[in-house]
Chain A
Amino acid sequence: MADDPGGRDAAADGGTVARGPALSSRLARSELVRSLPFWLPPALLMGLFVYGAIAWNGLISLTEWSGLQPNPAYESVDLSQYAALLSDPTFGTAVRNTVVLLVAFTLVTLALGLVLAVLVDQQVRFENTVRTVYLMPMSLSFVVTAVFWSWMYNPEIGLINVGLRSLGLGLLTQRWIADPQFKLGAVVFALVWQFSGYAMVVYLAGLRAIPTEQYEAARADGASTLRMYRRVILPQLRASTTSAAVVLMVFALKAFDFLFVMFGTNPGPSADILAMMMFREAFGKTNWAYGAAVATVLFAMALAVIGPYLYVQYRRGEL
């Protein structure tokens, strides 16, 4: 409303010339314009590297770019790389392993994290120390944990097999990371070790957010501890479960570093995942366009996980 006098003057002066200042001063006062210098530069930098690169990757995947060709030929684009993917048996294996890794890792990590959170939530002494130790593996690089676990899994003198033998369970010893039957399982186990502390942190925060009256009410009703957790507590942890699951799946999609250090670029059909196949095709064999096509599939998988999640967050007004 404060603009009105200026607006009337402007009309009297005859239109466009004086309408400028009024508009620009209104613009200058708008919060959008005032906010631009803050978020726009970071958004541009991030947008270029994240969304620009994703689009560019999609474009490259439509070309035939490979080997020593200096540039992708953008003139002729088609879906031939994707067609080739469908008839490539490695791709099918990699998709299957990626899904198995994602699902197994996420489920086991969540389950272990939940159990740990419930245990730590029993007003135990040394709670801080215990929490710190459980979360510690997450502060380590995949490179470091892969070096540790290669040693743990050493068939002759690694801790796993030595431990099994000392317990009289020598029958159970395996060549964990050499035997195709156990490879992926061994990777999942090590990743669970690394990230279950994270799931515990998320669940612990969820548990602490539940008002104590609800525990007491359930107790007063004579519910057993187990029953109370199943009926009263677990349903309220659904939000923690969803968000932890999404983050864990994204970690699993990034587990490339771990596999790369443990196995190199050829983990074999039993442990090959899409992220590895992409790297091998693009940076090992210089099949740039083919690698980009694998990358697009990987991105689509990530989108399938996070898209619905972000939409639900948005609907709940939590974004």
Chain B
Amino acid sequence: MSTREVAGVEVDLSPSRVALYGVLAAMVAFYLAPLESGLMTALKTNDAFFGSSPFAPPAPAGFTLAPLFEAWARLQGPLTNLNGALVNSLFMAVPATVLSAFLGSVAAYGLTNLEWRGQTAVLFLFVAGMFVPYQSVLVPLTRFWSVVGLPGLLAGVPLLADRAGLVALTVTHTAYGIPICTVLFRAYYATLDESMLEAARLDGASAAGVYTKIVLPLSVPIFAVTLIYQFTQIWNDLLFALVLVSQPSNEVVTIALNKLQGSMVSQFNLQMAGAFVAALPTLVVYVLFGEQFAKGVAGETQ
């Protein structure tokens, strides 16, 4: 035990320690290999990736940024292109993330910090909703949106007029995000100091007052966790976009990447570059907020 405590100062060179670090490092290589191989390939010319090891860095002669530029052009084009796939993904993922987190927060408050009978039954429906395979709602979902007739409803609305598919995606992601958001917030709200909320109630604060004045300001850390996790999930989804988006101008980035892969069959450098462009926002979010993402992940497990 004592060797462990001073491990920060002294280097423990016992064979078992060396083996332990060896295995951990090998696993780091295992998890990074597809990304490393992908990145190296994205930086190579056609000749170079056909002729060299997939994990070797490009030789000077085979180095190029052209695949990255072309992938960017195909998935987004100039940032001012408001029908680019990256902008479309942002357009639906940001509002859906914020809305589902907010709705999860108020639902969790109503189901945690206010005591009433039958709470468990309602909560049960929320938790079970987390686990529903989306295929089992897909046919009615498309039917629902075609009955609603969103393009007609939005025809006169500025900014949304030609974005019916994205609006449908936003609402759909919000609805299916509510269960996990509620569960994440509920676990956090259950740890709030009940006597503090009670004191506010005795001072005459309404349920809404307690929420906005006390609970909401204390929710910043769990909002961070939920927003990070939800954003990643919504950005990454393909299935809903496949069935809800029909206009090419409404394509989100997962659809665009899938098309790119399907049409550029042996252009592996371009495919890999596309994968990195599509994954860029989630990778950035993960590198900056990995801790929050890990907490969101753990929240799936209650």
* Residues of chain A at the chain B interface (Cβ within 8 Å): 30-32, 34-43, 45-54, 56-57, 60, 116, 119-120, 122-125, 130-145, 147-152, 154, 157-159, 162-163, 166, 193, 197-198, 201-202, 205, 240, 243-244, 246-247, 250, 253-254, 256-257, 260-261, 264, 274-275, 278-279, 282-283, 288, 291-292, 294-296, 298-299, 302, 305-306, 310, 313-314, 318-319
Stretch of B57-65, B152-160, B268-276 with 4 or more beta carbons under 8 angstroms from chain A: B268-276
Distance from A20 Cβ to chain B, minimum over Cβ atoms (Å)? 22
Given A35-B111, A119-B24: A141 touches B50 (CB 8 Å cut-off): no
Residue of A nearest to B271 (CB): A147
Stretch of B76-84, B133-141, B218-226 with 4 or more beta carbons under 8 angstroms from chain A: B133-141
User: What are the residues of chain B within 8 A of A46 when measuring CB–CB?
Assistant: 125-126, 129, 175-176, 178-179
A257–B238 contact, CB under 8 A? yes
User: What are the residues of chain B within 8 A of A120 when measuring CB–CB?
Assistant: 24
Given A53-B144, A295-B136: A261 touches B110 (CB 8 Å cut-off): no
B118–A32 contact, CB under 8 A? yes
8 A-B contacts (beta carbon < 8 Å):
A38-B110, A39-B109, A42-B107, A43-B126, A133-B32, A135-B297, A141-B279, A154-B54
A201–B294 contact, CB under 8 A? yes
A279–B135 contact, CB under 8 A? yes
Which size class do B's interface residues fall under? 35 or more
B139–A292 contact, CB under 8 A? yes
State the CA gap A48–B235 with chains docked (Å).
23
Given contacts A143-B254, A147-B274, 10 further A-B contacts (CB under 8 A): A32-B117, A37-B207, A38-B110, A39-B111, A43-B122, A56-B143, A134-B31, A140-B282, A151-B268, A319-B124
Q: Is B87 at the interface (CB under 8 A from chain A)?
A: no
Q: Which of B107, B123, B134 contacts A319 (CB 8 A)?
A: B123
Distance from A198 Cβ to chain B, minimum over Cβ atoms (Å)? 6
B282–A141 contact, CB under 8 A? yes
Residue of A nearest to B28 (CB): A133
Main secondary structure of the interface of B (DSSP, over half): helix
Given A119-B23, A134-B27: A144 touches B257 (CB 8 Å cut-off): yes
A243–B302 contact, CB under 8 A? yes
User: What are the residues of chain A within 8 A of B293 when measuring CB–CB?
Assistant: 135, 139
User: What are the residues of chain B within 8 A of A314 when measuring CB–CB?
Assistant: 120, 124
State the CA gap A306–B126 with chains docked (Å).
13
A31–B114 contact, CB under 8 A? yes
Task: Indicate the member of B30, B110, B208, B235 with the most A CB atoms within 10 Å.
Answer: B110
A38–B106 contact, CB under 8 A? yes
Given A31-B116, A139-B283, A151-B272: A48 touches B175 (CB 8 Å cut-off): yes
B136–A57 contact, CB under 8 A? yes
B135–A275 contact, CB under 8 A? yes
Given A147-B261, A256-B135: A31 touches B275 (CB 8 Å cut-off): no
B175–A49 contact, CB under 8 A? yes
Chain B, 256-298, contact with A by CB distance < 8 Å: what is the 0/1 string? 0110011000001001101100110011011000100110011
Distance from B279 Cβ to chain A, minimum over Cβ atoms (Å)? 5
User: What are the residues of chain B within 8 A of A142 when measuring CB–CB?
Assistant: 236, 238
A136–B301 contact, CB under 8 A? no
B132–A159 contact, CB under 8 A? no
State the CA gap A205–B174 with chains docked (Å).
29
B120–A319 contact, CB under 8 A? yes
Q: Which of A57, A138, A260, A275 contacts B140 (CB 8 A)?
A: A57
State the CA gap A32–B115 with chains docked (Å).
7
State the CA gap A165–B116 with chains docked (Å).
65
Q: Which of A140, A296, A306 contacts B128 (CB 8 A)?
A: A306
Residue of A nearest to B123 (CB): A319
Residue of A nearest to B208 (CB): A37
Chain B, 64-76, contact with A by CB distance < 8 Å: what is the 0/1 string? 0000000000000
